[in-house]
Every structure is written in structure tokens, then in C-alpha cells.
Structure 1
Amino acid sequence: MPKNTATVNGTVLPLEPATPHVSALDWLRDQGLTGAKEGCAEGECGACSIMVARPGLDTPTEWVPLNACLMPAATLIGQEVITSEGLGSPEALHPVQREMALRGGSQCGYCTPGFVCSMAAEFYRAGRRAGVDDGPEHGPNGFDLHALSGNLCRCTGYRPIRDAAYALGEPDADDDVALRRELPPPGVAPGRVSGGGAELVRPSSLAETLDMLAENPEAVLVAGATDHGVEVNLRGDRPALTIAIDRLDELRHLEVGSMSVEIGAALSLTEIDRMLGGSIPIFDQLIPQFASRLIRNSATLGGNLGTGSPIGDAPPVLLALDASVVLASRGGDREVPLADYFTGYRRSVRRPDEIIRSVRVPMPVARTAAFHKIAKRRFDDISSVAIGLALDVEDGLVTTARIGLGGVAATPIRARATEAALAGMPWTRETAESASLVLAGEGTPLDDHRASARYRAAMLGTALRKLYAAHEAGELV
């Protein structure tokens, strides 16, 4: 394949003259592929969704739906993409397009190509099986409706779209897109795209990345680009050097051991969820509440911690798990407890020449654990308060307690006073009530457009009561 190109709908296209800050969406539209649209420019509506070939867990290659509005086009070097135009044509509709048309799943049509791409990716999911009861959100054909959680429609309503999804059969035996899954995935294609006074580099190894960081400490690291894309689109951020690290093998491992679980910083949340297989149960509560499936297909733990946001969903859970961060530089690795990692608003102990290599979670994890997220919407929203709770209870006594909080201070924090109030106490309703009063006073919550300080404190006060109620109901050990 020629240098700095991507394969789109089977055709090799040059990425240049797109500059490093041009999104995949804008680049595709410049190629005349105008099915994907810009609705929000921040990954909430899914009108821009496309399918990208990625290494699979069940098959060598998987078709993964992603938000094209957030991805720098330059990160598609060497990659394979399918847009709605590549799935079918007016003369030969794809099964997804046909069912959407027959069942009235499209009116204005603005969001439809994005729905089609997300639905098609689920259509081609290797684990989808008709007649398998995987829960209330799965149709009789095994279609997981959560696959469409990142796609919004404001005119048709969702029932005809759901009906279209549930009417899909299996791919035909000669379906080229289905057959592509059995071939090796695109490899990492190192390269550089320059223009507009900026440069995006996809390095070939972690060592090369660390050398570049040591020489260019102002460089911006990008994995899923779910935060970076918003900064570029809505705030006009134009870094001189961007380093794409999402496909580095050294950052894409997950190892479950008897002493710890090590999670590579560049694994997507979707990959983490599938690879963990329930070995950290609190993640089963965290991940479904973390944005939408489209975002989780790109977002990484390294990015969530790297931004240092006080309202990120993952830090409270990782704090409750007593996790640590492994930082890498040319001088070697160092491990920092997450409780010591954040130093101020969007600041941390990570040096400019360091990269987050992995997150390390000690094993075994506490079995009395929960993640509570309070937001204006149940799903796909930024949290007003996020709480991770993990208690070790032996013979009716709380031996250790760890509680992580987000949204109530300038950084994610541990609720140290509440942890001390619980340690050594019997795990009873009275203890939970007493410690709840302490928890309601943790942090320094503020009034803002998401919630008042009073409301945030009240939500903190309910967390231990909810945890104890769940424990009494047999939902926790």
C-alpha cells in the first residue's frame, strides 16, 4: 500500500493533503462520501459513525463502529474503513439498509447512515446468534440493542429502528464484509502526516514514542481521541505535534494474575470489558455507564487518567480498587499509586517525558463493591458525582474500606475519613448510616450547571446506604 493512505470501501485513498487536525469525518466528506454527518462534533449523536477493521477477539478481524468526528484522519494510516456508501447502493441495498427502509426507520435521514454503520457492525459481530437469550436488550436474532446506544434520532423514534435491527438474519455466505473477518487485521502502519504547521506521527514502537516525548515534551498523546477530538473540534486546539499511540503493542496487553491484573493503557474500554471476563466485577457496573458503546470502542483507561479530569468515571473505581499507574520513560518504568497520582485540577505527577503504560489492580479484589454514577441522564452522560466503593468484610467486620470519589473536588479523591470510620466496624445498617454522615462531608463540592454542592453532598450520603441495601438483598457478598 502506498505511504500515508487508507483503504475506504475497498479503494486506496491518500490521506494527504489532509492536515493533522482534520477529522476522519471531514476527510471522508472531502472524498465525496457524504453519508456520515456532523451532528454534535463531540461523539454524542453518532451521525458520523463509520466501521473500521480492528484486531478481533472472536475472529482475526472485527468491524468496529467509531465516531469519525473525533478521529484525526491521519490516524487511519494503513487502516481499512467502510462507510454507509460501502455497504450497499440504491440498486443493491445492504440487509441493514433494506430493513431500515422497509420498517420506517428513517424520516429526515440525517442520522440514518450512522445508525446503519453501527447496526451493520453488530450484524457482523461473530458472537451474534439467533435464538440465544442474552438478556432483555437482545432480540430474537441475538442483536444487542446497546450497539446503537451512541446513535441518536430525533424524528423517527426508536421502535422502527429496533424493529429493523431485530429483523436482521445472518450474513450471506458470500458476503465480502463478513468474509473479511477471517483475514488478518491491518497491521500498525507507522507514518507522518504534516500540514498547517503541525504534524501527526504514528510511531512503530513504545521506544520510538518515548524518544519523541523526551525530545518534544509539549507533544500531545492520542489513543482513542475521544477527549482530544472535542478539544480540536469545539475549542480550536491545534497542537504542533500529536503522537498516535492507540495501536502500540506494548500498551495493548491485559494480564490476569493471582497477585494483580495489568491493563494496557491503549486498550479500548470495550476490549477491556470483553477480555476481563468478569474477573473484576465492579467493572461490570462501571463500563456500561461509561458514555456510549461508540465512545467505549475508542476510549481508553490511559486517556481517562491522562486528562486528569475530576469527573472521569474510571478514577473513582480504580481508587476504590487501590490501583496504581505504571509510567514509562526512556529512563525506565515507575509505579505510582493512583491515590498519589493526581496533584491538582487536570494535573498529575506524570512528567512530560512519560507515558501511561498500564493500570495495575491488586488481586483479589473486594467482593463487596459497587459503582454509583449520578447524572442527569441514566446513560451517555457526564457524571455529577461518581462513587466507587470496595469493602473487605470478614466474619461480619469491615477489615478494609476504600472509597473513590469524582465530581466533588478538583481531583478524584479517596474518602479517607469515611474509610477510617468503617474500618474495624461491624458491617451493619447502623454502621452504614453512621459512616454515611461522614461520607456526605467529604470533598469540596461546588455549585455548577450539573448539580449544586448540596445535591452532591446528599448523593454522597446515600452511597453507603445503597451498598448496604444491596448487600442485604444478596446482590453482593
Structure 2
Amino acid sequence: MERLRFFLNDKPVEETGLSPTTTLLRYLRDRVHLTGTKEGCAEGDCGACTVVVLEQDSQGTPALRSVNSCLVLLPMVQGKRVYTVEALKEGGKYHVVQETLARELGSQCGYCTPGITMAMLEACHRRDMDEPWKLDAQMCGNLCRCTGYRPIREAAGQVAGLRPQDRFARALAETRPEPMALAYEAGAQRFFTPGSLDALWDVLDKHPDARFVMGGTDLSLEVTKRYAEPPLLVSLEALPELHVLEPRAGGHRLGATAWLTDLEDYARVACRPLERMLRYFGSRQIKNRATLGGNLCTASPIGDMAPVLISLGAEAVLRSRAGERRMPLEDFFQGYRRTALGRGEVLACVDVPAQPEGARATAYKVSKRRELDISAVSAGFRVVVDGEGKVTEARLAYGGMAATPARARRTEAALVGQPWTEATLEAAVARLDEDFKPLSDHRGSAWYRAQVAKNLLRGFFHETLSTPVPRLAEGHSATVQVR
């Protein structure tokens, strides 16, 4: 039986006998008594439990990432460096983040302060804090119950991008990747992190019904809220083949285990519709752990990545020991929470093809809150218009309208071959009632969802008239742009 090995505040740690579903938060507070890290919601919503992990980004570059320790299972930090708020003070001197937050009166009752401080630490060492919205995106995952947001934001703005020569800068410069491969057992539970695809196939040959896990932003809720103890988990985190983000044949290959933070950075340059959807996908802490494959394989009807990828004509690439098979992404979803994955098979990547000339494309998300919320309705649209102004192709994909993410095929058919005009659009919009019969729930009534679906399509027409593939305005407040 292997031991868990990682670094905690730069000190090496070895553990054995602990349940592999022990969260990092519970370990810090209960096992090693680092109680600066707080528990608030235990579901990644409030940020009180934020710590910083030093790991490799998609390019293999060391990076400091703020994460919700309540969602990180202890085996997920194998070979990594974890820092808590206790690590900030060095040589008897407070860190610049702490000094700035105190000076600007950004701490009131103090309960949220450690998590806010750690989120600010990531901002302090980021190299890309070059636009005002990035500060909001960095801090939106931290709830202050005393509503002291103005001084917190001012303090964060002062330290963002400073990159001081502190212990964290030294760790970034000197740390070399440690192996994450792991075969861990405690009681009746097992946790595997294969270090190669061959090792993965070996594990799946013996345990074909194992559950896959990556960032834990979905599965860990079963642990923290339902007190589940999954007997066998297989992490795909140590497989670089599944982590790729790269241009391919005019399109893009998006690895299933790519962190959404890295995917957002890639999409900002390479794919505006994807970037747009990722902006309000979740907090920085969530996107630092959540993955593309995790969002797709959970097969939620309101998963935000599926509609935009379907609209772009993406294909799912599945791999097993027997080889590779491909399918249109819309066919990957077989029913509510069901996918086309067979036993011993994983989602390796998603291939997005080159977009046709004349394509108009974007994505939308409608939710109760701007950040860190689940969609009531989401959508990805792509319409190809030829030189004569006629629609030659339409791909209209929705989330939240059916048991799976799905295309509005009758509405698409009503557009193809017609001139791209408001009259044509209005005639096609009526067909949405034939495509979908949405349900009512606490996020929205069936009537509300149907009306929003229609209005998003109307908004798409107007927004893409002047800019076929629009980017969010700098002063944006949502993915829906109001003019």
C-alpha cells in the first residue's frame, strides 16, 4: 500500500490509513490543526476554505492556484505543494497581501478573511492581471458575510500582479514536478492515480466499474453533503495525453482533463464562443479544479459546456485499450445523466473543427446570479450565411430545455435555405415550441424557459449582425449583451 506524499507549507508530509475521501479541508482542520482554513458551505460556494496549490498548468509551467479545499480529496494533492494562510507570515513579517488587506480595512468579522487572503495570493502572483474584469473574476468565489466588498476589492487591486520575491516566488522558480501516480488503499476504499494510459487500462481491466474523478467539483459534493464513501475512485489527473489544448487542422483539440482556467486562457485567443461561456462558468477556485471532461461526463442537462461545443460541431473522442472511437458530441449524451461511454472507456478529448466561412457564432448563459450559479437556460448558436445572405447551415443547441443538452432541429430546418432576416428568424422561433417541452423547477417555469430560449435566439440575430463572432464587452454584466 502506497503512502500519500505531498508538501504542506513547504514541509514534506506522508500519510497512510486515512480514508481517500477525506477532504483536504477536514485534513487541515482535524488532522494537523491548521484551523486558519475555515468551513462555510462545504460545497465550493463561499471560499472560506480557500487554499493555494502549486501545480503545473496545461503548458507544464508551475502556477499557484487557489482552490476550495472542501472539494479536494486528499489523494488529489499527491506530489503537490499545498499552502494555507499560516504559510503567509515569513520571518516574523506579514505578507504584503495581509498587510494590504488590513490597511484597507478589508477584514471585518474575520471569518472569510483567510480564504480571501489566499485568493488574493493567487492574484498577487498572476502574470495576466491586465484587465479590470479579471480582478472580479479572481475574487468572485469569496463570500464576505459582512459585505465588506469595497475595501476587499481595493486591497486585491493593489496586490494583483505584484509578484513579490517571497517564498512562493522561490517555490515557483525551484519546484520540479513530483510524480502523482498512486495506488492507495484505506479500509474498504481504494484510490488510483495511474501514471500512464497503459496503467489506466490495467486498472480498468481489474475494476471496470470504477468511478472516474478529476477535480472533484461535482463528485466531492456526494462526500460533503451526502456523506458518501465511494469504494473505488480512479483519477485521470496524471495523464498528460488527456490534458492537451492545441490548434489542430484549423480547429482545436481540447483535452478532457484540461482545467477550465487553462481552457479559458486558450479560448480567449482561439475561440470566442467558448471564452464567453467560460467567463461565468464558476469562480476562479472552481475553474482551477473543474475540467472539460468532468462537465461533459456528468451529463447534466444544464451543463454549460455542451451547448456551445455542440453548436460548433464538436466531436467526442473516446479511448480504451481497444483504440479510439469518435462521435458527434450531441450523440455522446444518451439520456438524463447517461453518456455513450462503455466499460473501460474514457473521454479523451473534444475536437472542434475549423469554422466555416460566413459563420456567426456565440454562446449564452441565463442564471439567477451573474457568477457561480447554475444555468436556468444556456445556449450555443452557429449559423452560416453565404454571400447572398442565405442560411446554409444552422446549429442551435440548448441546455436546460430537455433531459440532455440538445439541438433545436426543427428550428434549424426552418432557417436553412432562407434569407438571414428578422422575418425569417421570427418564423423559425415559433418552431422552438415543437423542439422542446421544458420542465418547471426552482430555477424557472416551463413558460419562462421557453420564452428565454426564444429571446436568446432573437438576441443572437441582432448581436451578430455587425460582429459575426462577438466578444464580451469590457463592461459586461452577463453573457447576454443589452444594447
Question: What band does the TM-score fall into relative to the shorter chain?
Answer: over 0.9
CA contact (8 A) 2:123 2:160 kept: no
Question: Deviation of residue 59 (structure 1)?
Answer: 8.6
Please give the secondary structure, in 2, of the residue aligned with 1:383.
coil
Q: Find the aligned partners of 1:238 and 1:374 in 2 and give their Cα distance.
A: 34
Q: Find the aligned partners of 1:82 and 1:330 in 2 and give their Cα distance.
A: 38
Matched, 1:391 2:414: no
Question: Deviation of residue 322 (structure 1)?
Answer: 1.3
1:49-60 alignment, distance < 5 Å: 49-56=50-57, 60=61
1:328 is matched with which residue?
A: 319
1:429 is matched with which residue?
A: 422
CA contact (8 A) 1:320 1:404 kept: yes
Bigger shift: residues 351-360 or 183-192? 183-192
Question: Deviation of residue 259 (structure 1)?
Answer: 4.3
Report the AA paired with residue 317 of structure 1: V
> What's the TM-score, normalizing by structure 1?
0.93
CA contact (8 A) 1:55 1:185 kept: no
CA contact (8 A) 1:65 1:297 kept: yes
Of 403, 406, 416, the residue aligned with 1:413 is 406
Please give the secondary structure, in 2, of the residue aligned with 1:6.
strand
- CA 1:44–1:465: 2 relative to 1, 3 Å: same
Q: Find the aligned partners of 2:323 and 2:114 in 1 and give their Cα distance.
A: 46
Report the AA paired with residue 70 of structure 2: C
2:478 is matched with which residue?
A: none
CA contact (8 A) 2:268 2:275 kept: no
CA contact (8 A) 1:50 1:68 kept: yes
Question: Deviation of residue 284 (structure 1)?
Answer: 1.7
Bigger shift: residues 357-366 or 375-384? 357-366
1:287-366 alignment, distance < 5 Å: 287-364=278-355
1:87 is matched with which residue?
A: 88
1:182-331 alignment, distance < 5 Å: 182-331=173-322
1:12 is matched with which residue?
A: 12
Deviations 1:2-28 (A, max 9, x none): 942110111112232321110011111
Report the AA paired with residue 282 of structure 1: P
Contiguous gaps of at least 5 residues in structure 2: 471-483
Q: Find the aligned partners of 1:169 and 1:275 in 2 and give their Cα distance.
A: 21
Report the AA paired with residue 361 of structure 2: A
CA contact (8 A) 2:214 2:294 kept: yes
2:452 is matched with which residue?
A: 459
1:154 is matched with which residue?
A: 145
Matched, 1:400 2:393: yes
Please give the secondary structure, in 2, of the residue aligned with 1:472.
coil
CA contact (8 A) 1:84 1:113 kept: yes
Bigger shift: residues 175-184 or 31-40? 175-184
CA contact (8 A) 2:242 2:348 kept: yes
Q: Find the aligned partners of 1:205 and 1:25 in 2 and give their Cα distance.
A: 29
> What's the TM-score, normalizing by structure 2?
0.92
Q: Find the aligned partners of 1:173 and 1:234 in 2 and give their Cα distance.
A: 39
Deviations 1:250-297 (A, max 9, x none): 111122023431111111011112234422110121110211111111
Q: Find the aligned partners of 1:58 and 1:181 in 2 and give their Cα distance.
A: 14
Matched, 1:444 2:437: yes
1:127-146 alignment, distance < 5 Å: 127-128=128-129, 134-137=130-133, 144-146=135-137
Please give the secondary structure, in 2, of the residue aligned with 1:261.
strand
- CA 1:173–1:289: 2 relative to 1, 3 Å: closer
Q: Find the aligned partners of 2:147 and 2:460 in 1 and give their Cα distance.
A: 39
2:363 is matched with which residue?
A: 371
1:141 is matched with which residue?
A: none
- CA 1:17–1:88: 2 relative to 1, 3 Å: farther
Question: Deviation of residue 347 (structure 1)?
Answer: 0.6
Report the AA paired with residue 290 of structure 1: F
- CA 1:370–1:276: 2 relative to 1, 3 Å: closer
- CA 1:95–1:414: 2 relative to 1, 3 Å: same
CA contact (8 A) 2:58 2:243 kept: no
Contiguous gaps of at least 5 residues in structure 1: 129-133, 139-143
1:131 is matched with which residue?
A: none
Q: Find the aligned partners of 1:453 and 1:167 in 2 and give their Cα distance.
A: 46
CA contact (8 A) 2:394 2:412 kept: yes
- CA 1:247–1:347: 2 relative to 1, 3 Å: same
Q: Find the aligned partners of 2:15 and 2:283 in 1 and give their Cα distance.
A: 28
Report the AA paired with residue 283 of structure 2: S
- CA 1:476–1:77: 2 relative to 1, 3 Å: closer
Please give the secondary structure, in 2, of the residue aligned with 1:339.
helix
CA contact (8 A) 2:127 2:161 kept: no
- CA 1:260–1:320: 2 relative to 1, 3 Å: same
- CA 1:281–1:171: 2 relative to 1, 3 Å: closer
Q: Find the aligned partners of 1:264 and 1:316 in 2 and give their Cα distance.
A: 17
The count of residues paired between Structure 1 and Structure 2 equals 466
CA contact (8 A) 2:191 2:232 kept: yes
Q: Find the aligned partners of 2:76 and 2:57 in 1 and give their Cα distance.
A: 19
- CA 1:260–1:173: 2 relative to 1, 3 Å: closer
- CA 1:171–1:278: 2 relative to 1, 3 Å: closer
Question: Deviation of residue 440 (structure 1)?
Answer: 4.2
Report the AA paired with residue 137 of structure 1: W
Aligned-CA RMSD value: 2.0
Deviations 1:126-163 (A, max 9, x none): 334xxxxx44436xxxxx33211111111042101011
Please give the secondary structure, in 2, of the residue aligned with 1:64.
strand
2:473 is matched with which residue?
A: none
Q: Find the aligned partners of 2:112 and 2:297 in 1 and give their Cα distance.
A: 32
Q: Find the aligned partners of 2:176 and 2:391 in 1 and give their Cα distance.
A: 48
Q: Percent sequence identity over matched residues?
A: 39
